[in-house]
Amino acid sequence: MDFDGLIGWTIRIGLMISTCILIMGSVLTYSGLSGIGTILTYAGVIILIATPVSRVAMSILLFSKSKNWLYVAITAIVFINLMIAIFILPALLGR
């Protein structure tokens, strides 16, 4: 499978998994099992957010495999910025 195909499948699989979990969470929430439904809904959203992040991480690996060091560096900077925005900035802002 080529680079674009692998990235495309990563996005599709992440979207399908998150959609299924979100639907299950919504059904359980509205059927009276709000505790587990809420947990599944949050999990679906986290997977949805993690899908493009995993795409960036996979791009780093694929660029390094093809020895395209400029794109490895650029994609690593993007990945570091994502990690800062997801984990460090909310802690600094108190959220």
Q: Give the pLDDT of residue 95.
A: 66
Does the global pTM surpass 0.95? no
Phi, psi (degrees; rounded to nearest 5) at 31: -95, 5
Report the C-alpha gap between 18 and 4 in whole angstroms.
21
Q: Give the pLDDT of residue 1.
A: 67
C-alpha angle with apex 74: 65 to 87, nearest 5 degrees?
105
Low-confidence ranges of the chain (pLDDT < 70): 1, 95
Question: How many domains is the chain partitioned into structurally?
Answer: 1
Q: What tokens were used for 21?
A: 């979990």
Range of the domain at 66: 3-93
Amino acid found at 95: R
Q: What tokens were used for 39?
A: 């947990």
The Cβ of residue 58 has, within 10 Å, a number of other Cβ atoms equal to 16
